[in-house]
Structure formats: C-alpha cells, structure tokens
Structure 1
Amino acid sequence: MDRRLIQTAVVGSPDSDEPAICPEDPQELDLFRLENKDTTWWCGVNLPGGCGRQLMTRRCDDKICHFAHYRSAGDEHGIQCGRLARGKDSADHLFMKADLAAWLKSQDIAVTFDFPEPRGSAIVSDLADGRRLLVHLDRTQPVNWDDDQVTEFLLGTGVLIPTSRLAARGYVHRIRYESERDGHRPLIIGTQRPDRTDWNDLRTLILTPQGFAPAAHPETTQTEQPATDAPVPPQDTAERRSIVTVTRSDTAAASAARNHEAAQAAIRNLNWAGPERLRDTLATIEELLTHDQSFEDHRHLTEALSAGRRRLTLQTRRRAEVMIQLRRAEPGTLSRQLLEEAQQLTSDPGAPEEDRALVAELTVQYRAEAEQRLAAARQQRILAEHQQQEALQQQRAELRRHQEQVRAELEAAQQRKGAAPALPRRRETQKATAEYAELAKPLLGALKKAGREGETRTWGSLADRTGIKRLRQLGRLAKIEVLVVAESGTPADRPLWSVVLAAAGDQDALAIHRVVCERLGRSLPDADEALRTRLDEERTILQHGW
C-alpha cells in the first residue's frame, strides 16, 4: 500500500474533528460518494500537519482509492501539504475522541475534549465532575507523570512507562484499536500491571467513581488486584488521585454501550452489502432498533435503515426493468453484460423464483448460441483459409515467374554491356522482416495475458507493459505486419489474440483488425456493429473458454 496517498480527512470544515476514511475499493467508493453526495472533505487542522484545504475523492483502478487536494486557481504544481502521516491510522486520535465521546454520552457523563500540540500526540478529556483523562499517543515524547491535574493516564501503542514507575503505581491503562473485523475496529482498554496486561473492549466497560469497570459488574474495577499481584499504589498516591463521585449509568445506558459495536458493524455491513445480503442486513438493523441504544446510535441506525430501504426499492425497480429487457430480447441479441447484471440482481433472496429460472435458462441459451456462432465462424474461416492459401500459392508462382523473367532480362542486358549481372537488393526488406519477427513474440505474450484476464489493450499500453517503446512508434502498415507474424501460429478454430486490440474501440483499430484477418484468411462481418459483437464473443472465449 502506498502510504503517500491520503486516506483520512475530516468532514464539513477545516476545523472539524469528525474523521472519515476513504474506501480503497472503486465500487465501495462509488457507494460512498452516493451516500455522501452533499458532504465536503477537508485536510483538517486537527490532523497532524493538516493544511486546512478542501479534499476530493479520487477513484483508481491501479491503486487504492484515496483523498486528494483540490488545486488552487492559477496553481499548476499545487501547494505542498505538511501532512506526514496519511494512512488509515493518521486520524486515530479523532476516532478515539469520537468513540470516547459516544461511550461517555451513553452513560450521561458530560465531557469536553482538547487536542494539545502537536496535533495527534494526545487527547485531553475533562469530565464535568472535575476528573481529567489524558490519552498519550506520541511515543517520541515522555509522559508527564507529575501532572496533578490528570486523574487517569491512558497510554497509546509504543508509549513506554519505566519499570520503577509501573511498580510504584501498580498499574497503568493502555488504549489502542484492534484489527478491523466486520468493517469495524474495536477500541480496547488495557490495564497493564508488572506481570500482565488485561484487555477489554471499551463497549463492555463503564466509568465508575473508582475508575473503569465491567458493565456487567460495575462494583469491580479494572485496577482491583488479587493479593498475589504486584503492589498497589502507595496511600498518598491514592489520595492524590481521588475521584469525585458521579451518578452511575443506569441499566439501559450500560446496555446501550454494549450494543454500540453491533450497531456500528451493522451500519458498515449495510454500506458494503450487495443484493444477496441487503435484506439480511436490513433485518439486523431492524432488530437492533428494538434493543437499548444511545441517542446517537439510534439516530444513525434509523438513517441507515431509511437509506437501505431506498436502495432495496431502487434495486427491485432495476431488477424489474432488466427482466423486461430479457423477456423482450430476440433470440441471438442477448448481451453478456445484461445477463451478468440480471444474475447479480436475482441473487436477492426476495427475487421471484420465476426470474431466477428465466435468468438461468437464458444464460444456458446464450452460451449455446455463442458456441453455435463461433462453430459456424470457425468453419467459414477454415474454408476461407483453404481458398486463400490456394490463391496465395497461385500468386506466388506467378510472382516467381515474373521475377525470373526480369532477372533473365537484366542478366542479358548486363552481358551485352560486358558487366557482371546485378541482383536486386533486398537488404531493407530483410531488415524490416527481422524487426517484425523480433517484436512479434513479446507482443503475442502481452496479448495472451490481456485476453486471459478479460482486458483490452492499446498500442501505447502494450508499449508500457512490455517496455518496448518501438511498439508506440509503429505505423499502420508496420502494425499489420507485426500482428500477421504474431498470429501466424494461432489455430484457425481459435480467435486471434489481437482481438483485445481491436476491442479497444477506435475505428483505426477495427480497420487494422480487418486487414490482419484478411491477410490470415479469416472472414469478418461487414457491419462494424456486428464486428463489435463478434469481438465481445471472441474475448469471452479467450477469457473463459466458452
């Protein structure tokens, strides 16, 4: 993965602290754009080194999709941005702040947040009751353990605590994100002691007057230890770290905290669900809405349910349109693209069984028709090849007779003048023929690779992929000669590999393909539209073998 690409942004304004991650997959980005069509993205000042300029999403097929800066008017090279960290984890401090805020809000605990300089190094959480939680993330800066205003320290990944300090305190809290699963990265809290570290998902914990505690057993804090564990902090430290009592969250709030992860996972699953999973994901969200949820989670689930139902309506409408097109299609006019879309849409469990049966029947019919057309075309090509070979043999014999006659006349003329006979010079022709043969082998290899992967190529892209710049410089006649040499060994009952060039689409590519086929004794439809259909069918054979 190229970490120079910007994968994170903030939403709405340069000073926003609401983070976003750009989907890496092109199809996921298309849905992301559709669902956020009225949203603006920014290289926010709360991101480390963020320049405050607006960002766009950039769709890529050869690398991951990412955010990119808009260029200013009259600026040809773009203003340099100071962001050094641009990967998925470059906004972790903002995601942590959002997760901590939602977690505390579900317990009715008021809090304000601050991001000290440099941005991304720490998160300061000041609770309404006077407690302060400090999340220290910068592993290059030491922790100020003597800060009396801090009630509890939470250390990020790689932030060290001296062994003597840990022994004196007895414990310290850790905080980090786990690896992504089901579209969600759980935020986990650890309690590090001299002999071990115990980790818990944040959503399974609540904040009590004594500290972090399991939601199922709020009377037990994470810092309580058995008698055999490391020493507890000295008495004076405990007094200095006394916590003001706050109201404990009720049962509904604790349940909402536990349900947060499931709600977030369901929303992400909905964003990525295809027709085959959309209904199940909507059912999961409907079920979650019957459970205790925080206000924010309930709002997000309701919005996601509405958006998902709209998607389901559009999906059902599109399936009906596609099925009408399939039923009206004349035999021999079905397209592979329409059938593939129909197969995807009828993977919806709610699709009528008769639609699925029709799609399956038409798929078999399409393959049979394609095979019949190709078999007929193979027979025509074989017959045309025999006829062409006979005509070529006659032409070559006639050419040899003519050359011998000219040679004899030249020799006779030279003998009359007393000079040695002069033979025609063929060096230039021999040089060109050798060059075509040299280019043909790597060209054919690149064409075969593209054909098996179902892709098309241009002469320029072939030059880039093979590293042979000469391919980009060939004239039209030279291209024809190279392709004739390259395809001379292709069996007559198989499509030419050079269809991946002809299928690229421009008129010149079709014209070259016609000449190459004529030279090789292969017949083609006269109409360009019929030829394009033929090229699609032959590309299917090259890729799938049917």
Structure 2
Amino acid sequence: MGVDNRQIQTAVLADPESDDPVVCPTDADELDEFREEFADTTFWCGILLGGCGGQLTTRRGNVRVSHFAHFPDPDGLLPECGRRSRGVASADHLYVRAATQTWLRRQGHTPRYRYIDRDDAPVGSLVEIELDGRTLLLHMNPATPPDWDAAQAGDIILGPGVQVDHHTLVRRGYVNRIKFVSEGNQRVMMLGTELPHVGTDWDFKLADCTVDGRGRLITPVVTRVEAARAAAERTPVPRPRSEKTEGPVQIGALTRLINTAVQKKETAAVRQLRDIAQLQVPRCEGQALDHLQRAIDHANDLLDEQDRVRWRLFTGLDEAVRHGHVYKVTTLTPQVRRFIQGDTVTTPQEAGILQAADTLLRGARQQAAQKRRAADERRAAAVREREERRTAETEERRSRPAAQAQEQQAQPVTQAQERKARNRARGRVQSISGRLRREKLSAQQQKHLVEELILAAKEAGDHLSEAEQHKVNEWVEKIAAPVEEPGTANKTSPAPQPQPDAITEPAKLPDRLVPAAAAVRGALKKAARERTATSWNRLEHQLGSALPSLTNNERVQVLVQVDRSTAGDEPLLSSLLAAGDPHFAYQYYRHVLAALGLDAPDDDEDLRDVVEADAEQVFTDWRFR
C-alpha cells in the first residue's frame, strides 16, 4: 500500500461535487475533537477545489502537521491528484457562499453562485454571484487579471494579492477587496476598500456593508467617497482671480483648506476635502503634487486617529448595551453623540448601536419610575397601616380587661407571625423612645409613655438589642425614682441621671462635625453617580482623616445634616448607606428618617424594600449631576 505524502488541508463534505468546505486542524489534539464532530460525515477531494474527486481521510501528524490524505484504491494504489501541499486558502472561493448567502438574503436578494472553470481561469479563480440581473464578480486568483470594462460585471471585488493598476484605481476612486482569516476549522470573510495613495481599510465587518440596487458592494468607505463626490459637485474647488496660473492656484487653495481643517480638527470637513483632493491627484505634478500629497497625508493621520477613537467609543457602548450596564451606557451615549456631531456619516451597525442604547435607557427610566411609584405606594400604605394599628391598639387597651389581653397573647401563632409581631413591637419601642427623647412632656405624659414602652419591650422580647433594652431600663428607673421635695436641691447633689442619646438639631451640630458632614455628602454623591451602595466602614477608608471616628449618635447627626438640603420629593442620599449596610438600616436609619420628619415602616422587610427603591431612584436622579 502506498503512502500519501500530499499534505492537503482542505476538503469538501458529503460528496465530490459539494461546495461545503472544511479545514483539517493541524494540531493533533484538535484533530481528535474534529473527528468526533464529523464522525458521521465523509471527506472528499472536491472537484470545485481542483481535486480528483477521491475520498479523503484524516491523518494524525506526528512529525508533520495533521492533514487530509487519499484513500488508496482496492489495489493499494493512490489516485492521481494534482493537489499537493495546498493550504487552507485553496478553498476560499467555496467559503464565499457560506459567508454571504444569509447576509444577501436579509437584504432582499436571491443570490446564485457560479464557480467559473475555464482554460484562462482555473476553478477557484472567479466566483460569480448573480443578484436579480446584476452580478458581483470576485477575483480570487492573482494570476487571473480582472477585466474592468466587462459589461456583465456589475461590480468587481478583488481577492488577496490581485493587483489593480494606479490609473484604474484613481479613475474608479476605490476598489473593494475580500480576504479570509481562519477561525477553528472555518474561514471567516472580511471586506475592505482600497483608496488611491491610502491603501486598504479593513476596519469593518460584513454587517457594516450592503449591496445596492445596482449590484454594487457599498462599504462605509464607499459611502464616504460618494458623499465627498456629491459635495464636490455641489461645491467646486475655489477658482483663482487670475486665469494665468489656474492649476497651481486651485491646488494651492485646496491644500490650504485641508491644512486649516486639520488644524481645527474639523473631521467632516477634513474627510470631504481629503476625498476631493484624491480626485485631483491625477492632474497634478511636480511641487503642486508634493504639497497636495503632504496635505492628504496629514488629513489621513487625523482621520485615522479619529476613526480609532470612534471605534473605541462605539465598541465600548455596544458592549455596555449587550451586558445591560445602564450607568456605562448613560455615560458613553452623550460622548458618542458629541463625537459624531463633527462627522455625521454613520454605518448601519453604528446606527443600530445608538438605537439599542436609547432603547435600553428608556427601559431603565421606566423601570426606575415604576420602582419609585411602588416605593411611594408602600410608604403610604405603611403610614396608613401604622396609624390604623395605633388607633386599634389604643382602643383595645382601653376596652379589654387584662385577663383577655393575656389570653389573646397566649393564643398560638405561627413562627412568622410571632417574628412580625415582635418586629412591630420593637418598632414601637424605638418610636416611644424617640418621643421621650425629643418631646417636652409632663411627668404624667412621660409616665404614660413609659408604661407603653414597658409593654412594647415585653412583646418585643429578645428582638431588642442590648442598647435598646438598656434605654428602656433607664426610662423605667427614671420614672420610678422618688421626686425630690422643693428646697432639697440645695442640701444634696442629685446623682447624675443617664442622658438619652438624643439626635442633635442640625442648627446645633458641633463645629467639629460640620467638615465631616460635607465630606460624607461628597462621598455619597460620588457613590450615587457610580451607582454603588456603600457602608460607614467604606466611607472611613475612602475619606481617611476627613472622617474621624464617630459614635453611632454622631453618625446619625451627620447624616441628618447631609440630607437636610435634599428636596422633599427626592430620596435621601443616606439611603445608599442603608442599602449597603442592613444592620445600619435597621438600627439607625429609622432615626435619620424620624429626625427629618419622614416615616419608616416598622417591619424590617418593608423597610428593606423602601431602602432598595430609594437607592435605585438616587442612582437615576444623580446620573447626570
């Protein structure tokens, strides 16, 4: 049996006349995966590849790379085949159909493909794509020169290495090109446009291009060239005052216009004038040509830089839209729109990215508004429920005997109901403690409130923190202490009474806390713009010496001062602290709300919902501030 030493990297699938190509992986490990993927498929030395039509098998490489090899005939002889050491590019003409068929159909075309095979153009040299009476002719072989005057060719596209003479390139203004790059065991098409004195621009994909009704391939570069031509027809090159030196003066004026536009970085004007200048190159010579070409080079340098910035902006915006990063989309969209104001020609892909960004932002605004309305409704419902509950409890305490109250307390309840009841009782403890601290009450009023405080504390049980239980005990001891007779104050000095942890009014905020309040407000603004919740530990790490160590009461005082200037219809900036630190929300955020005259749900879960809605609205309100 003979050994097939021909290294064939490409084959077709299923039968010898197939136009469905495939590339053999060169890596041995990748070949194992390839064999598993195509376990039920046969490989052939395709006729359209210039092969013999024989069946192929994969050969695992030990010294050489892995490749396809021919099956020998029953006599053990290898078939005669001219394909030897042909690389992956030998099947590029077959990848044309796979790359363009869906793309053309989406544009309303019905493509039909023909692989020309004649003496002067071996198979694979020319690919015709018929589009409803028009023809795209792809030249894939450098040895087959294109016929630019052929009547049947609606548009000619050049493959890698196919040359075009300078005169033809200048006369046409541009030439479109095609090339393929490998991705796994497939080949991916890329399109480009070559301009005189500039070279080929490959910085766009198939989705950026279209085929118009005349069967012409329109790339973003072609769009700009045709726009420049139209502008040149509307705005002729400035004419000199004297007719004697017509040529040099016109070129000189055009050169000055280009240099001025480059200096001012007027991208649209530079692009238009650059394209006009390229059309003028064939009629120049000598020093005028040197000056004009130098101006064109300066224009190209600016446009290349602007195109790179443009690509980065649109790529970043596209990625942010696809991942749903609303804050990043909010930041990038104005930058993109400001950038394209100076260069309004956009590709279909760029227009699609902007449209997707606008759609995402509209949805985010609607969602934020819905959350805000839901939070307002929950707040209003919580206020109504609390007032109704207070009224009902007051009436119930006055009307029912103590035995009935104990009996009702002894009724079995579920674990969830007991937890909610204790949380509500804990909220009453906090509310009553706050009234005792803030309000000026008579002794009788204090005594009545302390009695309510004792009942609420018993109902809350172990849901009270040590600090909250300690404050309850302080008020009980204060009310139980004997009242001194008049005149006894001068005889003995009373023992110092524990002072309630009252919230200082903003007007009386200690001077040492004023800079801390300003620093905290600035940090919360920054967090709002960055759409991040925070915590007090994070603020201390972020602000350093600007935020000294504070007691919990001083933290509440600072936050009251921070949100004193917040409008009544806006959520508090300090909600970002409550959202980032649930312990802070449940223990101290209620004090901030109470000091600012705002209501808070008694239930911790309801409070958490309100905090999350407020934080989301803060992100929305501060994204442009």
Shorter-chain TM-score category?
0.3 to 0.5
Higher helix content, 1 or 2 = 2
TM-score by length of 1: 0.39
